[in-house]
């Protein structure tokens, strides 16, 4: 990550106050780097104007792959590669193949999506996150504003945060 970046960090203790704050601060044309919370605050992503995640699409694709793969494998193995007479049944008939197909679909979908999530969120077991205030996992909501990306001065931003209900305002340099 780039060095000598200065941030103004606003600490909020109430999610509703935080949500209003995000709204009004962004109305002032201030660009918010990111907000860190101990639990998912509903509506925060809209307030920050994030685009909806496309993980569902990924999941669907993975699932589809699973379905096709499972069906193909079963029909090919029992129907074409080595047909056997089993209980007088047809070599390749659909009904008995449904359960495995379904299970395999779910398997691929869930694992595929979970792994994608880890990757896109750039999470690694050995990586320490960049934390502006480590109470953000306990009971505080932390709003980080990058000075470099804003025209307002440090004091103005601090004031703005205070006005919008930040319980305290700190400064953080990396």
Partner 1 sequence: MSNNKTYWKGLPELKNDATVIKNASNEFGDAPEDNGHSRRDFLKMMGFSVAAVSLAACEAPIRKAIPYVNKPADVDPGIPNYYASTYINGGDYCSIVVKTREGRPIKVEGNILSKVTQGGTSAQVEASVLSLYDNSRLRAPYIAGAKAKWETVDAQIIEKLGAAKEVRIVSNTLLSPSTKAAIDAFKAKYSSTQHIQYDPSSSYGIWKANQQSFGTGFIPSYDFSKAMTIVSVAADFLGTWVAPIIFTKQYGVNRTVSVAKPEMSRHYQFESILSLTGANADYRTPIKPSQEGLIVAQLYNLIAAKAGQAALSASIDQVANLEDAANELWENRGKSVVVAGSNDPAVQVIVNAINNMLGNYGSTIDTSKPMNFRQGNDEAMDAFIADVEGGKVDAIIFYNSNPVYDHPKGAKLAAALKNVSLSISTASTEDETSALCGFKAPDHHYLESWNDFEPVKGSYSISQPSISKIFSTRQVQESLMLWAGQENVEYFSFVKQNWTNWFHASSGNGMDQQSFWDKCLYDGVLDVTGQSVPVTFNSDVAAAGSWIATNYKATGTDFEVVIYEPCGVGTGAMANNPLLQELPDPITKAVWDHYVTISVKDATDKGIDMKHEEFAEGRTQIMTIKVNDQTVNIPALVQPGQAQGTLGIALGYGRTKVGKVGMGMDGNGIGVNAFALVGSLNNALNYSATTGITVEKTTDIFRLAQTQIHHTSMNRPNVIQEETLTAFKERDKSKGPYNPKVTKWDEKLDASALSMWKGHTYNDHHWGMAIDMNSCTGCGACVVACNVENNVAIVGKDEVIRRREMHWLRIDRYYSSDAQAGDYAGLEKASENPQVIFQPMLCQHCNNAPCETVCPVAATTHSTEGLNQMTYNRCIGTRYCANNCPYKVRRFNWFKYHDNQQFLQSNPSMNTDLGRMVLNPDVTVRSRGVMEKCSFCAQRIQLGKLNAKKERRPVKEGEINTACAAACTTGAIVFGDMNNPASAISKLLEITKDEHGAAPTDKKAGNPRAYRVLEDIGVKPNIYYLNKIRNTKAAKPA
Partner 2 sequence: MQASSSVREYLVTGGKTVGDVSEDICRQVEGKPTTLWIVSFAISAVVLAFGFYCGCYLLWNGVGVWGLNKTVGWAWDITNFVWWVGIGHAGTLISAILLLFRQRWRMSINRAAEAMTIFAVICAASFPLMHMGRLWLGFYWCLPLPNTWGSLWVNFNSPLLWDVFAISTYFSVSLVFWYIGLIPDFAVIRDRAVRMGNKTRAWIYNSLSFGWDGGAKTWMRYESVALILAGLSTPLVLSVHTIVSMDFATSVIPGWHTTIFPPYFVSGAIFSGFAMVLTLLLVTRKTFKLEDYITIYHIELMNIVIIVTGSIVGIAYITEFFIAWYGQVPAEQYAFLNRMGGPYWWAYWCMMTCNVVSPQLFWFKKIRTSLSATFVLSIIVNIGMWFERFVIIVTSLHRDYLPSSWSMFHPTIFDIGEYLFTFGFFFCAFLLFAKFFPVINMAEVKSIIKATSEKKH
Sites of contact with partner 1 (CB under 8 A): 84-90, 93
- Contact partner, 15, from partner 1, partner 2, none, Cβ < 5-8 Å per class: partner 2
Tallying the residues shown for the chain, one arrives at 174
Where on the chain is the footprint of partner 2 (CB under 8 A)?
14-16, 34-45, 48, 50, 53, 55-56, 59, 63, 73-74, 77-78, 81-82, 84, 86-87, 89, 96-97, 99-100, 102-104, 106-107, 109-111, 113-114, 117-118, 120-121, 123-131, 134-139
Task: Give residues with Cβ within 8 angstroms of 113, minimum separation 6.
Answer: 55, 58, 59, 62
How far is the C-alpha of 30 from the C-alpha of 50, rounded, in Å?
Answer: 15
- Contact partner, 113, from partner 1, partner 2, none, Cβ < 5-8 Å per class: partner 2
Task: Give residues with Cβ within 8 angstroms of 140, minimum separation 6.
Answer: 11, 12, 13, 38, 133, 167
* Closer residue to partner 1 (CB): 78 or 160: 78
């Amino acid at each position: 990550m780039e060095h000598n970046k200065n941030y103004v960090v606003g600490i909020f203790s109430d999610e509703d106050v935080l949500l209003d704050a995000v709204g009004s601060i962004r109305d002032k044309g201030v660009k918010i780097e990111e907000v860190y919370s101990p639990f998912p605050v509903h509506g925060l992503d809209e307030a920050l104007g994030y685009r909806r995640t496309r993980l569902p699409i990924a999941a669907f694709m993975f699932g589809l792959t699973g379905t096709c793969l499972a069906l193909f494998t079963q029909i090919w193995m029992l129907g074409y590669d080595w047909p056997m007479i089993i209980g007088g049944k047809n070599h390749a008939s659909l009904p008995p193949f449904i359960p495995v197909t379904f299970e395999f679909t779910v398997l691929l979908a869930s694992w595929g999506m979970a792994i994608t999530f880890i990757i896109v969120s750039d999470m690694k077991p050995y990586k320490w996150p960049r934390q502006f205030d480590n109470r953000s996992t306990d009971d505080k909501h932390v709003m980080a504003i990058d000075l470099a990306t804003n025209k307002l001065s440090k004091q103005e931003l601090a004031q703005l945060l205070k006005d919008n209900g930040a319980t305290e305002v700190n400064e953080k340099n990396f």
